[in-house]
Structures are given as structure tokens and as C-alpha cells.
Structure 1
Amino acid sequence: MEVTDNGPEPNAFDIESATTENDEYRTVAWTGKYLQVTLMSIPVGESIGLEAHPETDQFLRLDAGRGRVKMGPSKDELTFRQDVWDGWSIQVPAGTWHDVENTGDEPLRLYAIYAPVHHAHGIVQETGEDAERDEETGVDEPPSWSVQPPKSDPDQHA
């Protein structure tokens, strides 16, 4: 199923099919003014990567696979740990260090909702390395039509 990010225009798509069919590390599916929907596929044995978004809340829902979520107030204090699988949701408050690791034997398929918008409109990143590079080079920036909080601390990665 192909999903096209049509920006802050009305949109509807079968999110479960799009999520389970997505093979890319991250595909931005829809970008509005205040929130964004992305599809993710995490390979076996890999993870999203330990990170914290100071000004962004996240909602994640798993549609295939098994994983383990770790969260906490610092990268060295991940006090929340939970095994998760198809049907589970994860809520990540802004500023919380978090990681989701694929502990299963198939790709971990999930979608994430960011508020406010966190990634470039329509960006597709094949691998986690591509996502890191795009962030470091400034390619992966929210579009100008999105409403962003005043700039504070940048995202943090372990």
C-alpha cells in the first residue's frame, strides 16, 4: 500500500495495512500543523535508538512483532521497562529518554504520532543510519507550515 504525505490537507488511509506493509525504517505518512504520523519498521535485533525529544510527545502503536520499551528521566536511568507486541501502545512524554528494541523474530512494525510535528514532510528513510544522517545534516526538519514550540534544547541521542 502506498501512502503519500499530502501535508496539512484532509487525509485518510488504512493505517494498519500501511504499517504492516512498510519496509522502511521511517516513512512520514501525514504531516499536519500540530501533529505527524510516521510508519516504522525495526529489523530483528535492532532498535529505534536511545533518544529524548525535549519538546515532543509521542504515541506509538505496534501492529506486528515483539519488542521491549525502555524509558526514564536520563539515558542512564531507564526505570520503565515493558515487553510489548501487536496491539500495544506506548506513550512517551516530552523529554523522556526512550528506546524500543525488536526482541522478536520478524520486523517490528509500528506507527508513531508526534506532537508537535517532528520530521520533514514526506521523508522516507530506509535505515536508522539514514535517519541519523538526515537529522545531522538538517535534511530532516519539520516543514514551515507546522507549529513549533520556541526552540529549546535539541533532541538528544545516546
Structure 2
Amino acid sequence: MEIFMYCGYFEGGIDHGPNPYSAHVEQMAIQNPNFRTAIWTGCHLQMTLMCIPPCGEIGEEIHEDTDQFIRVEQGKATVVMGRYKHQMDFQCNVVRGDVICVPAGIWHNVMNMGRSPLKLSSVYAPPKHPRGTVDHTKAEAEMREDY
């Protein structure tokens, strides 16, 4: 088996997993125009980039068997989390450089509170989305079963 190593920059939706890979994630996230772009999908984790428009949000969601680590690369947001969809009692404002850790089985939402796009990087363990996922908009993402 040939191992392909790559040092990356944003390439518009190329998923480099499961090969060894290195990239400047903050720069890639800032360049990403898509709601969600999977940049690396392995057997046990996945990294995606997200772009949430002003006044937009990820939307209330839960990943029953997946932990999620989200880093704010640009912008400011409010995150809410909780054990129940209608009782998200954890709330925090986050800015560039802050992280959000979402345990499996927790409802959560991230809302853009700024006037410019919110740029995020996100790690799922295990992977949540199909390898190579590129959702140009939230509506496109919602049409997929794994959203």
C-alpha cells in the first residue's frame, strides 16, 4: 500500500483521509466558502471546515455516538448545549481561538453573532459525515440523511 503525504491548503473540497496530512487549518477555514467541507476522514475521526453566514446557525442537533470538537477560526458566536432539545441550559459566547467540546448525546447549536461569516473547524470522533462531504449551504446539508 502506497502512503501519500501532503501538506495542504484549501482545495475546495478534497478529502485527504485516510492518508497522512498536514495543513494550516485556520487559513483553510477562513478560505472555505462552504457550509461544510470534509478535509480529512479516517477510520476513527474526521475534520471538517464550516462557514456560517451572519445571523445563521448550525442548527439544533445531536450526535448520539460522536464526540465533537469545534474551534472558532474567525468571528464570534453563541453556543448552547443541553441534554434535551428544549432545555439547552449551557450557554457561552465564543470568539476566534475558542473551542467548543460537545460530548456524544448532547444537543447543541452554534449561532453566528457577528456581521461577517463565522469560520469553524470541527473534529468528529468517530466520523459523522461521508468521506468527501461538501455542502455548499445549510439547506443542502439538511437534505442528507446524516445531517
Q: TM over 0.5, yes or no?
A: yes
Give the structure 1 partner of residue 51 of structure 2: 41
- Pairing 1:131–2:141 present: yes
2:105 is aligned to 95
Provide, for residues 68-108 of structure 1, a one-character-per-residue CA deviation record: whole Å limited to 9, x for no partner: 00000101111100011101000000000000000111000
Pair 1:110 & 2:143 matched: no
| Structure having the larger proportion of residues in strand | 2
Specify which of 68, 73, 82 is matched with residue 78 of structure 2: 68
Match of 1:147 in 2: none
Residue 37 of structure 1, CA deviation: 0.1
Distance 1:60 1:123 in 2: 17
Counterpart pick for 1:80 among 79, 90, 93: 90
Q: Tell me how far apart the structure 1 counterparts of residues 14 and 74 of structure 2 sit (CA, whole Å).
A: 22
What do the CA deviations read for 1:116-141 (whole angstroms, capped 9, x no partner)? 01101111100111001022xxxx5x
**Once the two structures are aligned, what percentage of the paired residues are identical?**
44
SS at match of 1:100: strand
- CA RMSD after TM alignment: 1.2
Cα distance in structure 2, aligned partners of 1:4 and 1:13? 12
1:5 is matched with 15
Three-state SS of the structure 2 residue aligned to 1:19 is helix
Q: C-alpha separation between the residues in 2 aligned to 1:109 and 1:117?
A: 20
Q: Which ranges in structure 2 are unaligned for 5 or more consecutive residues?
A: 1-9
Tell me the matched-pair count: 137
**Residues in 2 aligned to 1:52 and 1:85: alpha-carbon distance in whole angstroms:** 22
5 Å-filtered alignment, 1:40-59, equals 40-59=50-69
Q: Which amino acid aligns with 1:109?
A: K
Partner Cα distance (1:103, 1:90) in 2: 16
Per the alignment, residue 41 of structure 2 pairs with: 31
What is the aligned partner in structure 2 of residue 18 from structure 1?
28
| TM-score (ref. length: structure 1) | 0.84
TM-score by structure 2 length? Answer: 0.90
Unaligned runs of 5+ in 1: 141-154
Kindly state the Cα deviation for residue 7 of structure 1 after the two structures are TM-superposed: 2.3
